[in-house]
């Protein structure tokens, strides 16, 4: 009895010392009070070596939790990460409204041109409405090309395209085996799908599919390599409903960019996709579309004009013009009041262009930062016809032989 008492007192002391040691060993928590929320977060205790995600989202202002969710006080990894939105990608479309959204962030009003989440979720790259409608029509599941299904259900009450809503596409519910195969083989390229296996296809989902260029990096200077994860990877064969990967191993920007079967001008492979294709084209204009042609409209003449027309331009007189806001995020061109920029047929300003005093134009690549000058077609020896403005006509003379 006395021995036991002695022993257990001794053990108690040992364990109390052990408790103090355990507590002493714990790493000091690193607090961050982001100015946006005012609520302390301790993510940096473990993640201090992560790079700042972008110059426009500094961690001192945003913190981590406002975008990622998570348990801000927890110092245990499992608990801290348990309520994160979208795993490591809070821009996945299933959670994007809470992560990137909010009136002060990226889901504002259409009038302000801040309704980015609404436009992306209804865009053709997200809904796949046209592809799905086309396949179903081709194989007899619907009587015309009017879109019925999209990758997720979505509705648009203020539609300007006449398409008010889409239901969620369930390939398993389809009767035709070709449509089922389409569902099994061909749906890995919409914005919110997990990509195919393979380094060439590697990308994130949601907003990060385009805007995330590396681990924990966001940018608006999107290089063509981002687009390449889905575009120009091969071709599909409708009869066997399979995707045929391109067989070449690209070795240069020219070869990497487009597939061997295509013809392109030097302009098209020197610039990045985002230098021509506008925000409305890629992210959507807020309405549900079912055909690439109805949303993709930029052509050579948008910048170069035609023999009869100069490219449309706009002179900047309002300091609150959206052009300054767009240029601010990636100021490749130092735009000032009084400058004239090119404007597309739909009124979208090309903020990386500027008219020079002699009527020609200058341009800086958004991702490459390369400087270019170019002249309008009017007054040159170009042999184009006014009604043949598709790029294939320009390629007849200007395509680069690969």
Partner 1 sequence: MTNFSRRDFLNLARDGFIYLSGALALGGLMRFLGYDSNPAPKTEFEIGAADDFPLGSRTLLTEIPAMLIHSPDGFVALSLICTHLGCTLEEDSRGFSCPCHNSAFDAEGGVTRGPAAKPLRRLRVEVNQRRGVVVHTE
Partner 2 sequence: MRPSFFHHLHPPTIPAAQARWRHTLGAGGTAVFLMLILGVTGILEMFYYLPNPEDAALSVQRITYHVPFGWLIRNLHYWSAQMLILVSALHLLRVIFTAAYTSPRRFNYLLGMGLFLLAILLDFTGYILRWDKSICYPLLTGTNLLKTIPLIGDALFVIATGGGEVCSNALIRFYTWHIFGLTIVAVILMAWHAFRVRRDGGIAVPPPDSRADTARISRNELVRREALAMLIVSIFLILLSIFFPAPIAPAMSASANASVTESAYARAPWFFLWIQQMLKWGDPFTFGILIPLAAFVFVALIPYLFPHIQKNEIGAWFPKSNRMAQIAIIICLACVLVLTFINR
Residues forming the site for partner 2 (CB under 8 A):
1, 4-5, 8-9, 11-12, 15-16, 18-19, 22-23, 29, 42, 69, 71, 73-76, 79, 82-87, 94-95, 98
Q: Shortest approach of partner 2 to residue 23 CB, angstroms?
A: 6
Alpha carbon separation from 269 to 173, 264, 265, 302 (Å, rounded): 42, 7, 7, 17
Q: Which residue has the tokens 């608006």?
A: 220
Nearer to partner 2, 65 or 273 (CB): 65
Alpha carbon separation from 217 to 6, 52, 190 (Å, rounded): 61, 7, 21
Contact 147, 166 (CB under 8 A): yes
Read off the tokens for 373. 């000058």
Nearer to partner 1, 17 or 167 (CB): 17
358 binds, among partner 2, partner 1, none (CB under 5 to 8 A by kind): none
Q: Which of residues 295-334 bind partner 1 (CB under 8 A)?
A: none
Q: Which of residues 7-66 bind partner 1 (CB under 8 A)?
A: 9-10, 12-13, 16-17, 19-20, 33, 40
Nearer to partner 2, 29 or 51 (CB): 29
Residue 361 forms beta bridges with which residues? Answer: 355, 374
Among 6, 83, 88, 110, binds partner 1 (CB under 8 A): 6
Q: Shortest approach of partner 2 to residue 34 CB, angstroms?
A: 16
Q: What are phi and psi of 291, to 5 degrees?
A: -150, 135
95 binds, among partner 1, partner 2, none (CB under 5 to 8 A by kind): partner 2
Contacts 24+ apart (CB under 8 A), 92-96: 92/192, 92/205, 92/206, 92/208, 93/120, 93/121, 93/126, 93/152, 93/191, 93/192, 93/205, 93/206, 94/192, 95/69, 96/120, 96/121, 96/206, 96/207
Among 1, 5, 22, 143, binds partner 1 (CB under 8 A): 5
33 binds, among partner 2, partner 1, none (CB under 5 to 8 A by kind): partner 1
- The beta strand positions in 152-271, using DSSP E, are 154-155, 165-168, 212-214, 217-218, 234-237, 242-245
DSSP string, 275-325: HHS-HHHHH--SS----HHHH----HHHHH--SS-PPPEEE---TT-HHHH
- DSSP assigned state of 361: E
Task: Fill in the per-residue mask, 82 to 121: x = in contact with partner 1 (CB under 8 A), - = not in contact.
Answer: ----------------------------------------
Q: Distance between CA atoms of 81 and 71, rounded to whole angstroms?
A: 7
Crossing angle (nearest 10°) for helices 177-185 and 129-138:
150
85 binds, among partner 1, partner 2, none (CB under 5 to 8 A by kind): partner 2
Q: Shortest approach of partner 2 to residue 35 CB, angstroms?
A: 20
Q: Is 168 a binder of partner 1 (CB under 8 A)?
A: no
Nearer to partner 1, 14 or 79 (CB): 14
Nearer to partner 2, 46 or 276 (CB): 46
Q: Which residue has the tokens 């809470």?
A: 98
Nearer to partner 2, 19 or 55 (CB): 19
Per rule CB under 8 A, count of chain residues that contact partner 1:
13
Contact 47, 34 (CB under 8 A): no
Q: Shortest approach of partner 2 to residue 7 CB, angstroms?
A: 9
Task: Fill in the per-residue mask, 131 to 150: x = in contact with partner 1 (CB under 8 A), - = not in contact.
Answer: --------------------
């Amino acid at each position: 009895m006395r021995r036991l008492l002695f022993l257990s007192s001794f053990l108690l002391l040992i364990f109390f010392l052990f408790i103090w040691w355990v507590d002493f060993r714990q790493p000091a928590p690193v607090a961050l009070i982001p100015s946006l929320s005012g609520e302390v977060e301790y993510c940096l205790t473990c993640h201090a070596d992560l790079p700042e995600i972008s110059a426009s989202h500094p961690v001192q202002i945003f913190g981590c939790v406002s975008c990622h969710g998570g348990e801000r006080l927890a110092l245990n990894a499992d608990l801290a990460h348990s309520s994160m939105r979208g795993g490591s990608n809070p821009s996945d479309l299933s959670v994007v409204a809470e992560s990137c959204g909010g009136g002060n962030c990226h889901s504002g009003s259409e009038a302000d041109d801040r309704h980015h989440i609404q436009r992306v979720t209804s865009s053709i790259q997200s809904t796949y409405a046209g592809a799905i409608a086309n396949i179903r029509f081709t194989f007899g599941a619907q009587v015309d090309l009017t879109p019925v299904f999209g990758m997720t259900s979505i509705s648009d009450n203020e539609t300007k395209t006449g398409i008010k809503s889409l239901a969620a596409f369930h390939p398993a519910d389809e009767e035709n085996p070709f449509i089922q195969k389409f569902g099994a083989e061909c749906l890995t390229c919409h914005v919110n799908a997990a990509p195919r296996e393979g380094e060439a296809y590697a990308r994130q989902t949601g907003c990060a599919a385009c805007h995330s260029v590396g681990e924990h990096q966001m940018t608006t200077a999107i290089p063509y390599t981002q687009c390449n994860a889905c575009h120009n990877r091969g071709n599909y064969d409708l009869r066997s409903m399979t995707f045929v990967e391109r067989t070449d191993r690209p070795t240069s920007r020219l070869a990497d960019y487009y597939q061997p079967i295509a013809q392109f001008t030097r302009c098209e492979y020197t610039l990045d996709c985002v230098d021509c294709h506008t925000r409305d084209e890629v992210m959507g204009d807020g309405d549900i579309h079912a055909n690439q042609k109805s949303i993709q409209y930029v052509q050579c003449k948008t910048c170069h004009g035609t023999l009869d027309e100069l490219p449309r331009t706009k002179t900047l007189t309002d300091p609150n013009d959206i052009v300054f806001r767009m240029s601010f995020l990636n100021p490749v061109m130092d735009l000032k009041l009084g400058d004239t920029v090119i404007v597309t047929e739909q009124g979208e300003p090309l903020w990386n262009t500027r008219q020079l005093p002699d009527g020609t134009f200058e341009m800086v690549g958004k991702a490459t930062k390369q400087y270019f000058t170019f002249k309008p077609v009017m007054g040159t020896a170009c042999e184009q016809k006014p009604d043949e403005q598709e790029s294939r006509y320009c390629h007849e003379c200007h395509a680069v032989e690969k």
